[in-house]
Structure 1
Amino acid sequence: MLELHKMNLLIEEKIETILSSNNVTGRGLIILPSARKKYMVDHIPYFFRQDTDFRYLTGCLQPQSALVIEFTESYMKSYLLLRENTAYEEKWEGPRFGFQEATDFFGVDEVVSMNSFPDFLSRFSKDRMKLNMWYDVMSPRDEEIHANILEFIKTLGHHQNLNNIHPLREVLHEVRSIKSSAEIKLMRKTCEIGALGLKKTLASTKSLSTELDYLATIDYYSKMGGANFLAYPPVVATGDNANTIHYIAASDKVSSGDLMLMDAGCEYHGYSSDITRTWPVSGEFTEVQKVLYDIVLECQETLIKSIRPYETCIDQLYRLMLVELCKSLQTAGIIDEQEQSSALRFVHLYCPHNVGHHLGMDVHDCAELSKTKALLPGNIITIEPGLYIRKTFDRAPIEFRGQGLRIEDDILITDSGCEVLTNGCPKSRQEIEALINS
């Protein structure tokens, strides 16, 4: 669990910047609701996953909760609102924190009953001093809590002056993007588990006959390695299925001449890995597959080597990926155009996605961050070039059609460059073939 006290200080620093840049003065109020439990049908719940920002600041995994922080230039007080315990609900759902326990455990100043949320908010409307709020009014996490907050906003007159309501998510994402030493330790562990699980799945290739077999295998090895669960529905795709970027059906049999593209990661105590490997089901790359695989691997290695902290941004890496893929596709005769400017227009047809994204508590972490922002030490990103050539894509030479490949690793930005956190799963052709055939 992260220490709320430290996180409050970080938020306060960011908000002070906003206050000074907008010439805003007065009291500040942060309101951050938790996620709400959702149900498949009747009383059968979906698996509950806490709102990431709420978990980051509190460590609290209980639904229907909220964090409120009141502050001025010289004062700060934190409140955690929780549902009250009842013997009936605990019988069905298990125990929850009592209020005194929660105060001590989560390190907040005061715990308040969620049942009194509207009355609790009203205490902040009594002071005549102007109140500035940080709340994501356009992307509510809990509709019931959101309705209460909207009623509170009306009492402040903010419906007439929305300049006093600021989005919280973008502030938090800037803070969250720089991982602490404790977070980096958790990221190392989740990447280690994910890479080992993928390596063991790859090694099991000759005993697996369907995409579903592969899916079950990566799930098994990830959880046996210590993961809480898979971080997202994996892409487990053979043959032309790999050319559907978010293919998650995992419903086909595998054929000997196919490549297997597996994009899978796991979650370990709230932190996610995200890894992709592509390998031949037969245990040996064909000549065509070797050409494409080497293009993708060489591109990824070039991108990783190019990273410079404080200078490189994800957009620059994306543009470099297009250039590198373009040159290699021209050399391989897959793109006919010799002029780079015209050839670059075709590269997007072969790789329609970005080169990477931030990674951490969410798989696509800190989504509010601009991809033009320079990467800083403590950032963790993915680097994932790919090539996707559908069977029906008649622009490509016929021998390359039906092949889909991607290679993805998780990268920690350091003071001197970067570190690959997912080296536990091999990616050279020689290592992959040796692993499958051992």
Structure 2
Amino acid sequence: MKKTWPNILICRHFGQPVAQTHPHLINDGEVTPGLTKSEFLSRRIKLVEKAIRTFKGVQTVKDHILIIPGASKVFMTNDIPYPFRQNTDFLYLCGFQEPDSVLVLKSGNETSERNHTSCLFVPEKDPEKELWDGLRSGTSGALELTGVDLTYDIRLFEEFLNNYCKFNSGFVLWYNFLRPVQQKIHDSVTQEMMVESKYKCMEDPTRLCQQLRVIKSPAEIELMKQSVETASQAFIDVMKFSSPEVNESALYAKMDYECRMREAEFLAYPPVVAGGQRANIIHYINNNQRIKGGELVLMDAGCEHHGYTSDITRTWPVSGKFSPAQEKLYNGILSVQLACINLCTIQFSLDQVYHAMLTFIGQQLQLLGLVETNLHTSKLMQKAKEFCPHHVSHYLGMDVHDTGEISRSINLQPGMIVTVEPGIYVNESDISVPEEFRGIGIRIEDDVLITETKPIVLSSSCPKTVEAIESVMTSSS
């Protein structure tokens, strides 16, 4: 009788989850959860197409080579590393999650219908190092896992570059020289490709890659929905957990716990957990104070779920009920947020939504008696900026502040996912406003999918009306 071995023994050579070892996460044919080899190939093809198109008609340009490094481990002290997070563009193009690797795309593949050859350089298997740091895929495992054309030992990277320069000239070198991701790779590129000056010119591939990343595929949208829903449900549990005199650090810990229990890998960024007056510090992350009864807490948090992030902000009373002044200000900013979400269509840009937000905030400030009712438009807009010093939105995806090279002045497009996050922050020392509003900071943030018609709020299950929040707080007792 033929003996069969468990899948776990067959796949010990992989350094990241695969279908055989993690069938609850990954299906056959997927490189990372929800994303197939064919999708990663399509991304690489589109990137090389963009690079070639950039120099279309320039006869002196013969070829293109794109070098996209992966991240290295970063150590907090001696041999103690920070949690590893892969370089986003590298992960987007191949799905390989091990450190100290690099992806090279060479244009012109005569043996294939593809427009390029993809080469992945990875650390080779090393039993001694794997004993301490965990399994590696090695060249054979990386080839099987990712579906790239070729894999090499990372120690051969300099030799590869040297040979490429020997037999090629007049090529465009696509490499982010100004912001190196991995120092060893940067040194190799500098030494082997830039000294000889055989390249026609050097360009940064970051913008091209982000032009692809800013529009989410159907598979990416599903992953984003999961990430946002995970964070939304975690917020509900954190609200229920809140009580007078709770420490901000406890709410931080509760958010982290609830996201991880729903299979998020980690929080997407250090969360803001700001009680009372501290909510007026936009990026407050000390999270080490007790929140008094009667105070609001502003929490800005999200999680990373299989490489895709969420970013939500809610503000609620730890005592379970808004005071009259808190409710007035909260409903004012909620009306602004709803109006801004309605503008998230293909007719508008994020900058246009931002300017509309300032108008809406100015109107609310007047209605609430926080500023004079007779201010001219320009002065009212300036006042609005003082009460809300940040933009209304940013792109969201694999990074929290995603695709930063993409202008917020272009019209929104179907498949984009953005945040909508207006706020009003009233400093406790501002004697120009009624006393009842002093020291209150409120922000409401949702994650929104752009479609051909109307926007879809992905975080709609996270309570944000006064009634819904107070209902959740009541149900906790």
Aligned counterpart, 1:71: 107
Instruction: Please list the CA deviations of residues 21-58 of structure 1 after superposition, one character each: whole Å capped at 9, or x if unmatched.
Output: 86763100000000110111111111110001111111
Instruction: Please list the CA deviations of residues 332-369 of structure 1 after superposition, one character each: whole Å capped at 9, or x if unmatched.
Output: 11011521221111111110110010111100111110
2:157 to 117, 142, 167: 117
Q: Does 1:151 align with 2:197?
A: no
Letter in 1 for 2:93: L
The within-5 A match list for 1:81-96 is 81-96=121-136
The within-5 A match list for 1:187-206 is 187-206=224-243
Letter in 1 for 2:155: N
Aligned counterpart, 2:73: 37
2:443 to 385, 399, 406: 406
Letter in 2 for 1:291: K
Residue 16 of structure 1: how far off its partner (Å): 2.8
Letter in 2 for 1:178: I
The within-5 A match list for 1:102-181 is 102-157=142-197, 164-181=201-218
Mapped to 2, the partners of 1:22 and 1:265 lie a distance apart of: 45
Q: Does 1:15 align with 2:51?
A: yes
CA contact (8 A) 2:243 2:293 kept: no
Mapped to 1, the partners of 2:357 and 2:59 lie a distance apart of: 42
Aligned counterpart, 2:24: none
CA contact (8 A) 2:301 2:311 kept: yes
What is the identity percentage for the equivalent residue pairs of Structure 1 and Structure 2? Answer: 37
Instruction: Please list the CA deviations of residues 113-163 of structure 1 after superposition, one character each: whole Å capped at 9, or x if unmatched.
Output: 1112111111211234411011101110011210110112334416xx8x7
Aligned counterpart, 2:22: none
Residue 20 of structure 1: how far off its partner (Å): 2.4
Aligned counterpart, 1:378: 415
CA contact (8 A) 2:344 2:455 kept: yes
Q: Does 1:264 align with 2:301?
A: yes
CA contact (8 A) 1:330 1:338 kept: no
User: Which SS does the other structure have where 2:104 is aligned?
Assistant: strand
User: Which SS does the other structure have where 1:206 is aligned?
Assistant: coil
Mapped to 2, the partners of 1:71 and 1:327 lie a distance apart of: 55
CA contact (8 A) 1:81 1:112 kept: yes
CA contact (8 A) 1:238 1:258 kept: yes
Count of residues paired in the alignment = 434
1:321 to 335, 352, 357: 357
Q: Does 1:330 align with 2:366?
A: yes
Aligned counterpart, 2:254: 217
Larger mean CA deviation between 106-115 and 199-208 belongs to 199-208
Call closer, same or farther: CA 1:208–1:253 in 2, change over 3 Å: closer
Letter in 2 for 1:38: V
Structure 2: unaligned runs, 5 residues or longer: 1-31
Letter in 1 for 2:337: Q
Mapped to 2, the partners of 1:123 and 1:22 lie a distance apart of: 25
Mapped to 2, the partners of 1:251 and 1:223 lie a distance apart of: 22
CA contact (8 A) 2:66 2:104 kept: yes
Q: Does 1:243 align with 2:283?
A: no
Mapped to 1, the partners of 2:431 and 2:147 lie a distance apart of: 62
TM-score normalised according to structure 1 size: 0.96
Letter in 1 for 2:467: Q
Aligned counterpart, 2:90: 54
Letter in 2 for 1:281: V
CA contact (8 A) 1:208 1:214 kept: no
Aligned counterpart, 1:28: 64
Q: Does 1:278 align with 2:315?
A: yes
Aligned counterpart, 2:459: 422
Residue 18 of structure 1: how far off its partner (Å): 1.1
TM-score normalised according to structure 2 size: 0.88
User: Which SS does the other structure have where 1:63 is aligned?
Assistant: coil
CA contact (8 A) 1:300 1:385 kept: yes
Residue 374 of structure 1: how far off its partner (Å): 1.1
The within-5 A match list for 1:347-358 is 347-358=384-395
Structure 1: unaligned runs, 5 residues or longer: none
Residue 437 of structure 1: how far off its partner (Å): 1.2
Mapped to 2, the partners of 1:324 and 1:83 lie a distance apart of: 54
Residue 396 of structure 1: how far off its partner (Å): 2.5
User: Which SS does the other structure have where 1:77 is aligned?
Assistant: strand
Mapped to 1, the partners of 2:266 and 2:128 lie a distance apart of: 29
Mapped to 2, the partners of 1:221 and 1:128 lie a distance apart of: 53
Letter in 2 for 1:370: S
CA RMSD across the alignment: 1.6
User: Which SS does the other structure have where 1:147 is aligned?
Assistant: helix
Mapped to 2, the partners of 1:258 and 1:208 lie a distance apart of: 10
Mapped to 2, the partners of 1:23 and 1:182 lie a distance apart of: 38
Letter in 2 for 1:122: N
Call closer, same or farther: CA 1:120–1:204 in 2, change over 3 Å: same
